């Protein structure tokens, strides 16, 4: 059995991590605080990343029309149908969740932290959207709760980064990781497999780069082509190769093999809404993808870190 698993998984699952840390089931409650993004309002760019949906990657978060506490309670109760007894991580998911005055951030974050059985916060944001003042606040917040900052990177290929309209550099990302870790704040990084014109080597290079940084977790997504996005227009005009399920599974396993085994895998596939999806439709069968990854790793007799050439931190 893989040492960071109590199931058949051969990688370091988030469920294992939370149970090991909190000694009970913990789940994320996804929230939409109605933030904007500097890549939408013209601060660094317009129209956002080309794959970003109208919800700002918050398809399964609360309704931004609702008060943040009402969102929390609604999502929490829905999740309790699956896990009747659990504690919670407040997950500020949609768009850029540090992109506001610090006083506004404090108001929203503290409302969630004040809810019963909340043991931490996950805050999704961009590397160019954490001011020095915000960083000071996050440092203090980290002393009070289990804090994780999720940074979108998507790729280390600067040509691809420009194509998808990320509007920040790799250096900007790396500098922010260092700042957060200097303050002992946990960092989770989002990457996307299958970005237009990227090769398998590009995707593996992104993981090789991240493996050398002091990060605590990673989210691996498959590119979703969503209706009414710039990416859909690009795909309709000049169709590019979309990874098959088999190609995706092969790449993910290769990526896992390269990663240090203490890095927690927060996500290993996408989870799009079927009504919004253009391609690939195999993504809608999430549990089939997860099961096929498990089966293929067993078949190959491999595991996370099997080909890692960097010593573990533990």
| Token output for 123 | 């805050």
**Domain count along the chain:** 1
> At what angle are helices 102-113 and 68-80 packed, to 10 degrees?
40
> b/e string for 261-298 if b means 16 or more Cβ within 10 A?
bbbbbbebbbebeeebbbbbebbeeeeebeebbbebbe
Give which of 209, 305, 185, 208 is closest to 257, Cα–Cα. Answer: 305
For residue 310, name the pLDDT band (cuts at 50, 70, 90). Answer: confident
Q: CA-CA distance, 223 to 221, in Å (whole number)?
A: 6
Q: What is the CATH number of the domain that holds 104?
A: 3.20.20.70
pLDDT digits (tens, 9 = 90+) for 168-184: 999 999 999 999 999 99
For residues 180 and 216, is the Cβ–Cβ distance under 8 A? no
| Residue 155 is assigned to a structural domain of this protein | yes
| Residue 309 is assigned to a structural domain of this protein | no
Specify the higher pLDDT residue, 163 or 78: 163
Q: pLDDT over 70 for what percent of the chain?
A: 96
| Residue 314 is assigned to a structural domain of this protein | no
For residues 119 and 148, is the Cβ–Cβ distance under 8 A? no
| pLDDT of amino acid 30 | 94
Q: What is the DSSP string of 139-206?
A: HHHHHHSEEEEEEEEE-S-HHHHHHTT--S-HHHHHHHHHHHHHTT-EEEEEEEES-TT--HHHHHHH
Distance of CA 226 to the CA centre of its chain: 18
∠ CA 108-191-283 to the nearest 5 degrees?
Answer: 95
| Residue 63 is assigned to a structural domain of this protein | yes
| Residue 1 is assigned to a structural domain of this protein | no
For residue 14, name the pLDDT band (cuts at 50, 70, 90). Answer: very high
Is a pLDDT exceeding 90 seen at residue 71? yes
Specify the higher pLDDT residue, 139 or 309: 139
Is a pLDDT exceeding 80 seen at residue 129? yes
Q: Which domain holds residue 269?
A: 14-300
Which positions ≥6 away from 191 have C-beta within 8 Å?
153, 154, 155, 203, 206, 207, 210, 218, 219, 220, 221
Give which of 180, 120, 115 is closest to 145, Cα–Cα. Answer: 120
| pLDDT of amino acid 63 | 79
| Residue 310 is assigned to a structural domain of this protein | no
For residue 55, name the pLDDT band (cuts at 50, 70, 90). Answer: low
Is a pLDDT exceeding 80 seen at residue 1? no
121 phi/psi in degrees, rounded to 5: -130, 140
| Residue 33 is assigned to a structural domain of this protein | yes
| pLDDT of amino acid 221 | 97
For residues 303 and 11, is the Cβ–Cβ distance under 8 A? yes
| Residue 312 is assigned to a structural domain of this protein | no
For residue 273, name the pLDDT band (cuts at 50, 70, 90). Answer: confident
For residue 83, name the pLDDT band (cuts at 50, 70, 90). Answer: confident
Q: pLDDT over 90 for what percent of the chain?
A: 82
CA atoms within 13 A on the CB side of 312: 13
pLDDT digits (tens, 9 = 90+) for 232-271: 999 999 999 999 999 999 999 999 999 999 999 999 998 8
């Amino acid at each position: 059995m893989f040492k960071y698993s109590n199931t058949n998984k051969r990688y370091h699952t988030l469920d294992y991590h939370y149970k090991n840390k909190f000694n009970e089931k913990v789940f994320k409650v996804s929230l939409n605080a109605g933030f904007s993004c500097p890549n939408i309002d013209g601060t660094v760019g317009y129209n956002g990343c080309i794959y970003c949906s109208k919800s700002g990657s918050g398809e399964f978060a609360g309704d931004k029309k609702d008060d943040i506490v009402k969102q929390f309670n609604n999502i929490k109760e829905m999740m309790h149908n699956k896990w009747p007894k659990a504690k919670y991580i407040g997950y500020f998911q949609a768009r850029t969740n540090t992109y506001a005055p610090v006083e506004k951030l404090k108001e929203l974050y503290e409302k969630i932290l004040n809810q019963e059985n909340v043991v931490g916060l996950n805050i999704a944001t961009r590397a160019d959207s954490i001011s020095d003042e915000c960083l000071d606040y996050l440092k203090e917040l980290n002393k009070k709760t289990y804090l994780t900052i999720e940074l979108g990177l998507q790729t280390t290929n600067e040509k691809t980064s420009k194509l998808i309209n990320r509007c920040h550099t790799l250096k900007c990302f790396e500098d922010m990781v260092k700042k957060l870790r200097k303050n002992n704040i946990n960092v989770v990084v989002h990457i996307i497999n299958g970005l237009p014109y990227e090769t398998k080597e590009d995707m593996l290079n992104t993981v090789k780069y991240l493996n050398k940084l002091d990060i605590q977790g990673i989210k691996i997504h498959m590119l979703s082509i969503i209706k009414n996005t710039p990416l859909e227009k690009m795909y309709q005009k000049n169709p590019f190769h979309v990874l098959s399920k088999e190609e995706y599974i092969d790449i993910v396993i290769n990526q896992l093999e390269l990663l240090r085994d203490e890095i927690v895998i927060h996500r290993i596939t996408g989870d799009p809404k079927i009504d919004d999806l253009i391609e690939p439709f195999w993504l809608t069968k999430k549990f089939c993808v997860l099961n096929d990854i498990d089966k293929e790793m067993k078949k190959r007799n491999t595991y996370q870190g099997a080909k890692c050439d960097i010593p573990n931190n533990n």
